[in-house]
Structure 1
Amino acid sequence: MHFSGLLSSLLAVSTLTETTAALPSASRSRVTAKSISTVFQFGYDAEIENLAVRPNGNILFTEPSPGANVWEIDPSIVNGSAILRKDFPDVTTALGVSSIGPDVFAVTTGDVGSGFAGDVGTFAVHILRYTGNNTVQTTGPISIPGGKLVNKITPLNPPSDVILVSDPESYHVLSVNLRTGAIKTVLHDAETMNATTSFPIGVNGIRTVGKYLYYINTAKALLARVALNRDGSAAGPYEIVANISRTLLEPDDFAVLPSGDAFIAGSNEIVHVQPDGKFSVLAGGEHQLQLAGATSALFGVGPKSNILYVTTTGHGSAPGNTTFVEPGKVVAIEVSGL
């Protein structure tokens, strides 16, 4: 979740606390942004939080504010119409969305107020399944009773019935069995998942790649990873891949390739982290509006697998600046050198 806009009240006074981990020096990457273009933008003051990509290349994304909705666009049609795939009128916010099977997606929702305050007991997971006639069937909700701010989602050993979800305010990762509804805490590490005293958002964006779970710690500006057992518990040590706090404040969500190359969205930038921990800014900039309030990133599929799609809130012309700039949008970055 990007913490400008509806969850912004603590940003002006928060101070990021760096960990004691070594800081790899920023370096020039072989990977570059060949072109950047906007493929969709809201026509009203709305934010975009998270995205997933359908097998046909279309993009699903969540609108956390002012509505709690899931939309779909065809990114090949510039500034085309968005299709409302699901609204959640009983909660304030739609948060994470992730592909968990062939044209099947999980979505997290809940009530979130100012000052990052999630309303415990309101968070849930919903399943959106596309049918043969391109309509969506919704099942759930699966309630997360103790969740403080249930947010990002990633599948575990697909086509398993188990998914992993992050709770940045509880500083841990939960497993959710979509068949039985069983929920348990499977991952927690004080150094890499806990937040700081002044900024309460810890483990946030999560992605499974091979045997690893990669994850973002927003408060400490870390990219970290841990090897997983089949049940989602830790099979090895929690490792810091990169501390990017000197380059990118407020990292949120990210894309990661099988190579280990990660592309992190946050503030107004995309930062590319190489497998060895070295990093550089791929696109955007602290005081640029091209990616104002970047929240998430994911590569396309098929012939669009070199296109990095980025979602934004449209807030924050600089880190910590929550002034509204423009409606949220989806940006396509053509990446070369992969």
Structure 2
Amino acid sequence: MRIKLSMIWATILLIAPCSCSPSLETLATLPLWIENVVVRANNKLLLTTLGTATIYTFDPSFPSQNATHLVTIPDANGLVGIAEISPDVFITAAGTWNFSTGDIISSASIWRVDLRKNAPEARLVVTVPESNLLNGVAALPGCNNAVLVSDTFAGIVYKINVKERNYEPVIQDPLFAPPDAVPSLGVNGIRIHGGYLYFVNSDQGLFGRVPISRTGHATGNTEVLFRINATETTYMDDFAIDGLGNVYIATHPNILYVLDRYGKVKTVLDRTELNEPTSAVFGRGRAKDRLYVTTGSGKLVAIDRRELS
């Protein structure tokens, strides 16, 4: 996420072009910046948006239907990261910003959204007064009461205890920090996989990882896996990790990189249809090879992962 919503020196790693020509299927369009996406167990998608603090839902089983309103978070005008902590219970980060100037109007907050009943229930978990931009959200494996959340302006990762409704900083590292003062962006999208917290630092132009404990604390050194030369319009945002450990990085203005499990990077998409990609996630179960990508231009698109090799 880049609050201004405005729209490579050669990369430090040699990025191989992809000989593939994958098809993009546009599933839904909204007149909003779609910031993040998560997949429910029934393979319905939840989309967070900027401008209305609304979660939309989309059912890929009915592709002729558009995304529909699910729930709006009060006292906010934007939702950022979202993650599932237990079946059909989700945590999302909210805030209020002036999208024209980039000014922050209120502190960031964390909300719990329960979809187990007929009507969605949204409840405030905690406000983080010292944070202006809580961004990426990652559920801690094996724990249904805690998430890690990135603070993009401060370069900090917080652990949010949903049950106790409190928080603590658990990771603070120069590789998570923004390179300059606000509104420069530091740690953005985060995911947990195989005992590591993987992360994007948007304005440092890096993708890295750090080993973490079961409680979310760093247990070793942070390592950089991939770098680009970030600019105002070219920067990594969020990403998805498949079951084999390959990483698919949504990169503005219209790029999808793949960092495979052997450390090789290639550009698998560089298309104008992928306008301002913000996040990515894989389907579940039989849809595990379907990669969903959201965009700041208000699109939800689908790509067959098998076409990206």
TM-score exceeds 0.5:
yes
Which one of the candidate residues 173, 178, 200 is aligned to 1:195?
A: 178
Q: How far 1:33 moved relative to its partner?
A: 5.9
**1:33/1:139 CA distance change after superposition, 3 Å:** farther
Deviations 1:80-113 (A, max 9, x none): 1323221124112111111222111111111122
Q: Name the SS of the counterpart of 2:286 in structure 1.
A: helix
Tell me which amino acid in the other structure corresponds to 2:108. Answer: F
Which one of the candidate residues 7, 22, 32 is aligned to 2:4?
A: 7
2:270 maps to 1:329: no
Q: Name the SS of the counterpart of 1:234 in structure 2.
A: coil
Q: How far 1:306 moved relative to its partner?
A: 0.5
Which one of the candidate residues 98, 102, 108 is aligned to 2:87?
A: 102
Partner of 1:83: 68
Tell me which amino acid in the other structure corresponds to 1:202. Answer: G
Mapped to 2, the partners of 1:172 and 1:117 lie a distance apart of 20
Aligned residues: 304
Partner of 1:72: 57
Which one of the candidate residues 172, 177, 188 is aligned to 2:161?
A: 177
Mapped to 2, the partners of 1:197 and 1:115 lie a distance apart of 18
**1:276/1:127 CA distance change after superposition, 3 Å:** same
Q: How far 1:55 moved relative to its partner?
A: 0.4
2:57 maps to 1:60: no
Deviations 1:173-197 (A, max 9, x none): 000000112211111111x211122
Partner of 1:310: 293
Q: Name the SS of the counterpart of 2:134 in structure 1.
A: coil
Instruction: Give identity over the alignment, percent.
Output: 29
Mapped to 2, the partners of 1:201 and 1:33 lie a distance apart of 32
Q: Is the 8 A contact 2:204 2:230 kept in 1?
A: no
Partner of 2:257: 271
Mapped to 2, the partners of 1:193 and 1:160 lie a distance apart of 25
Q: How far 1:76 moved relative to its partner?
A: 2.8
Q: Is the 8 A contact 2:96 2:108 kept in 1?
A: yes
Tell me which amino acid in the other structure corresponds to 2:111. Answer: H
Q: How far 1:28 moved relative to its partner?
A: 5.1
Partner of 1:234: 218
Tell me which amino acid in the other structure corresponds to 1:97. Answer: I
2:24 maps to 1:36: yes
Partner of 2:238: 253
Q: How far 1:313 moved relative to its partner?
A: 1.1
Q: Name the SS of the counterpart of 1:55 in structure 2.
A: coil
**1:115/1:261 CA distance change after superposition, 3 Å:** farther
Mapped to 1, the partners of 2:205 and 2:84 lie a distance apart of 25
Which one of the candidate residues 89, 92, 97 is aligned to 2:77?
A: 92
Which one of the candidate residues 117, 128, 146 is aligned to 2:130?
A: 146
| Unaligned stretches of 5+ residues in structure 2 | none
Tell me which amino acid in the other structure corresponds to 2:276. Answer: G
Deviations 1:155-180 (A, max 9, x none): 11333411100011001100000011
Q: Is the 8 A contact 1:8 1:115 kept in 2?
A: no
Mapped to 2, the partners of 1:156 and 1:179 lie a distance apart of 14
Between 299-308 and 123-132, the greater mean CA deviation after superposition = 123-132
Tell me which amino acid in the other structure corresponds to 1:174. Answer: Y
2:222 maps to 1:222: no
**1:132/1:92 CA distance change after superposition, 3 Å:** closer
Mapped to 2, the partners of 1:273 and 1:203 lie a distance apart of 18
Mapped to 2, the partners of 1:262 and 1:55 lie a distance apart of 21
Which one of the candidate residues 26, 33, 37 is aligned to 2:15?
A: 26
Larger strand proportion of the pair: 2
Tell me which amino acid in the other structure corresponds to 2:97. Answer: V
Mapped to 1, the partners of 2:56 and 2:255 lie a distance apart of 23
Mapped to 1, the partners of 2:127 and 2:64 lie a distance apart of 36
2:275 maps to 1:292: yes
Q: How far 1:29 moved relative to its partner?
A: 6.1
**1:106/1:282 CA distance change after superposition, 3 Å:** same
Q: How far 1:303 moved relative to its partner?
A: 1.4
Between 53-62 and 275-284, the greater mean CA deviation after superposition = 275-284
Mapped to 2, the partners of 1:116 and 1:251 lie a distance apart of 19
Q: Is the 8 A contact 1:51 1:59 kept in 2?
A: yes
Tell me which amino acid in the other structure corresponds to 1:61. Answer: L
| Unaligned stretches of 5+ residues in structure 1 | 315-327
